[in-house]
Amino acid sequence: MTEQLRLMAVHAHPDDESSKGAATMAKYVSEGVDVLVATCTGGERGSILNPKLQGDPYIEEHIHEVRKKEMDEAREILGVRQEWLGFVDSGLPEGDPLPPLPDGCFALQDVDEAAGRLVKLIRDFKPQVITTYDENGGYPHPDHIMTHKITMVAFEAAGDPEKYPEAGEPWQPQKLYYNQGFNRPRTVALHEALLERGMESPYGEWLERWKQFERRERTLTTYVPCADFFEIRDKALIAHATQIDPDGGWFRVPMDLQREVWPTEEYELAKSRVDTSLPEDDLFAGIRNN
């Protein structure tokens, strides 16, 4: 295929792009693929998760601006382009019963109306492949679930000239994937490898929580080899300083062990308009040679 390959990753908040599929994006950038991250919200209601920054009055008051700067830094590290869809973070409701979502937030938007912004971006950028979250959002944050909903609508509508005529000339993406990097086989493999080497594993609590909740095992269809880009992934994630503790569990697995035991990032092929054989090792399988 002589046409430029383009990948769009649709995420809920700044930092999601660096924790889900970042090494894959960096790999494709290194191969000359044009990669665009669509960020649905500004992360305005996100908590400050890095204990070293908690209690900083400037960050607390200017969290939107701080997270925008973090996103700019992560974007540069990954080598991707990035656009904001401009919705307002819904926050993660906590308590029993759960409180109502705040007025005007992303998760309370009309799905078809909200999808129009993404349709316009798809038609402008013209990606062959889109990645996003599954129907559970990867985890049940209302913004992640809403991101799934608008992406599903936009994937189908972008190529339909009768839908969203104000959003530009139709463009039909060929494949849609769900990020599935936080899967049980990967977690078990890394957990057992650490224990076998006499090392402490940060995954014990994860696996116990998995046992407590009934959770359908996802179908992993696509394993993208990207171990050479794990360090770039981690640098991009650390750039989101309010959201990640550089001394936390995310970074406790030695890089050499990660590359040896699980050198891929995983996806679930949700929609395809091209023929492909499963399992795949390339998000553009079936597209490159068409």
- Model's pTM, two decimal places? 0.95
Ranges of residues in the chain whose predicted pLDDT is under 50: 1-2
Q: What is the spatial distance between Cα 133 and Cα 128, in angstroms, rounded to a whole number?
A: 17
Question: If you search the block for the tokens 């700067």, which residue do you land on?
Answer: 69
Does 16 appear as a known binding residue? Answer: yes
pLDDT tens-digit map of 156-181: 999 999 999 999 999 999 999 999 99
Q: So where are the chain's domains?
A: 6-183+219-272, 184-217
Q: Give the model's pLDDT for residue 96.
A: 80
Q: Give the model's pLDDT for residue 215.
A: 65
Does 148 appear as a known binding residue? Answer: no
Q: What is the spatial distance between Cα 1 and Cα 25, in angstroms, rounded to a whole number?
A: 19
Question: Looking at domain 6-183+219-272, which CATH architecture does it have?
Answer: 3-Layer(aba) Sandwich (3.40)
pLDDT tens-digit map of 112-141: 999 999 999 999 999 999 999 999 988 889
DSSP conformation letters of 10-57 = EESSTTHHHHSSHHHHHHHHHTT-EEEEEEEE--TT-----TTTTT-H
Pick from 85, 59, 72: nearest CA to 15: 72
